[in-house]
C-alpha cells in the first residue's frame, strides 16, 4: 500500500529513474540478495516501505515473524545502503514504537521512555531497531538517514483480509459484506472507546517526497493528522459510507489495544508539510477502490 502510493506520487511529480521490486522479485530477508541488488542498480536514494504488517490478531498469533522478518528486511536494506555508499535513506516505521501509556499527543522524544503495548511489541521492537540504526549511521557517518513514523494508514492497495488487516480496512470489508448479506449485524472487537488517528496513504506518500526533496535536520519525525476519533465513531462513519443499515455489536471480551495513540506532528508542520485529506473523504476513496478491486481482494489470505 505505502510503496505503491509513494511510486504514484513520484511518477506524478515527474520522477522517472525509479527502481522498485516486489517481494517475489527480491527477498529482502536475504542479505546477499539485497547486496547484489544494490551493487547492480546503484541507487542514489532508498525509500524503505517494506515490512511485514498486521493488526492485533496477526501480531498476537505470529510474534516471531513480526519481530525477526522485519529486522531482517530493514537491517539488510539499511546496512546494505550504508555499505554501498548511499547517502540518503528514508525509513518508514509506525506510531506503535512509542510507549503504551506515553503522554498524548506522542512526541518524538517519548521513544524508549516506557514499556510498549504488548499486543504489537514484536513489530514495535523491530521498527525501533530500524530507527536507531538510521540514527547511528547519521550520527557516526553524517549521512542523511531519516525515519518517518506514520500513524495508522489506509487507502488503495490496503490489506482487507479479516485475519491480518488493521482496524479500518477490516471494518470496511465487514460492513460491506454485512450490507450485501441483508444488512446483517456487525460484531467488532473491544469496547469501541479507544481513540485512533488515521492518515490517508497518499498524504503519507507526499510526506515521503517532502523528505526526499528536503534536508530534514533531525533523525525522527511523526507523520499524521494530529487528530483522532474513537473506534466507535470510526465504525459509525464506515457504516454510513458503505450504506450498511444493520446493528453494530461490541465484543468486550476481545482486547482494545492501546487506549489512545495521537501523534504530535508539529515538527513536520514547522518544516512545511501537513496532511490534506480528511478522514471521511479518504474512506470514501478507499471504499471506491475496494469496490473496483473486490474480486482480487477476496482471494487475499493470510500467509
Residue stretches of the annotated binding site for NADP(+): 92-95, 127, 150-153, 166
Annotated binding residues for substrate: 174, 189, 196, 256
Q: Which of 123, 145, 210, 219 is catalytic?
A: 123
Task: Compute the distance between CA of residue 21 and CA of residue 198 in angstroms, rounded to an integer.
Answer: 27
38 is catalytic: no
Sequence-distant (6+) residues with CB within 8 A of 175 are 186, 235, 238, 239, 242, 244
Annotated binding residues: 92-95, 127, 150-153, 166, 174, 189, 196, 256
Strands (E), 217-301: 220-223, 229-230, 248-251, 260-261
Task: Compute the distance between CA of residue 248 and CA of residue 251 in angstroms, rounded to an integer.
Answer: 10
Q: What are phi and psi of 278, to 5 degrees?
A: -70, 160
Taking CB atoms within 8 Å and a gap of at least 24, the contacts of 287-296 are 287/172, 287/176, 287/241, 287/242, 289/155, 289/156, 289/157, 290/160, 290/169, 290/172, 290/173, 290/176, 291/176
Cα 75 to the center of its chain, rounded Å = 18
Count Cβ atoms below 10 Å from residue 221 Cβ, excluding itself. Answer: 22
Q: Which residues are catalytic?
A: 123
Amino acid at each position: 500500500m505505502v510503496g505503491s502510493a509513494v511510486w504514484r506520487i513520484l511518477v506524478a511529480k515527474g520522477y522517472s529513474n525509479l527502481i522498485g521490486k516486489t517481494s517475489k522479485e527480491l527477498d529482502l530477508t536475504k542479505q546477499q540478495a539485497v547486496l547484489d541488488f544494490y551493487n547492480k542498480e546503484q541507487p542514489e536514494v532508498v525509500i524503505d516501505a517494506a515490512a511485514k504488517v498486521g493488526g492485533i490478531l496477526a501480531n498476537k498469533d505470529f510474534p516471531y515473524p513480526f519481530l525477526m522478518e522485519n529486522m531482517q528486511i530493514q537491517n539488510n536494506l539499511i546496512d546494505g545502503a550504508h555499505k554501498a555508499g548511499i547517502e540518503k535513506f528514508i525509513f518508514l516505521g509506525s506510531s506503535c514504537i512509542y510507549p503504551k501509556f506515553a503522554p498524548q499527543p506522542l512526541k518524538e522524544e517519548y521513544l524508549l521512555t516506557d514499556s510498549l503495548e504488548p499486543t504489537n511489541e514484536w513489530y514495535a521492537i523491530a521498527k525501533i531497531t530500524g530507527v536507531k540504526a538510521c540514527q547511528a549511521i547519521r550520527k557516526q557517518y553524517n549521512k542523511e538517514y531519516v525515519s518517518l513514523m506514520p500513524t495508522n494508514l489506509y487507502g488503495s492497495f490496503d490489506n482487507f483480509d479479516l485475519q491480518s488487516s488493521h482496524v479500518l480496512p477490516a471494518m470496511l470489508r465487514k460492513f460491506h459484506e454485512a450490507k450485501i448479506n441483508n444488512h446483517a449485524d456487525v460484531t467488532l472487537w473491544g469496547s469501541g472507546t479507544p481513540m485512533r488517528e488515521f492518515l490517508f496513504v497518499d498524504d503519507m506518500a507526499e510526506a515521503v517526497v517532502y523528505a526526499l526533496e528536503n534536508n530534514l535536520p533531525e533523525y525522527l519525525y511523526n507523520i499524521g493528522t494530529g487528530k483522532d476519533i474513537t473506534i466507535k465513531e470510526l465504525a459509525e462513519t464506515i457504516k454510513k459510507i458503505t450504506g450498511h443499515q444493520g446493528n453494530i455489536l461490541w465484543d468486550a471480551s476481545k482486547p482494545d489495544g492501546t487506549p489512545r495513540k495521537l501523534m504530535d506532528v508539529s515538527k513536520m508542520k514547522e518544516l512545511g508539510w501537513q496532511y490534506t485529506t480528511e478522514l471521511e473523504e479518504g474512506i470514501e476513496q478507499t471504499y471506491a477502490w475496494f469496490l473496483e478491486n473486490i474480486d482480487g481482494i477476496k482471494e487475499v489470505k493470510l500467509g
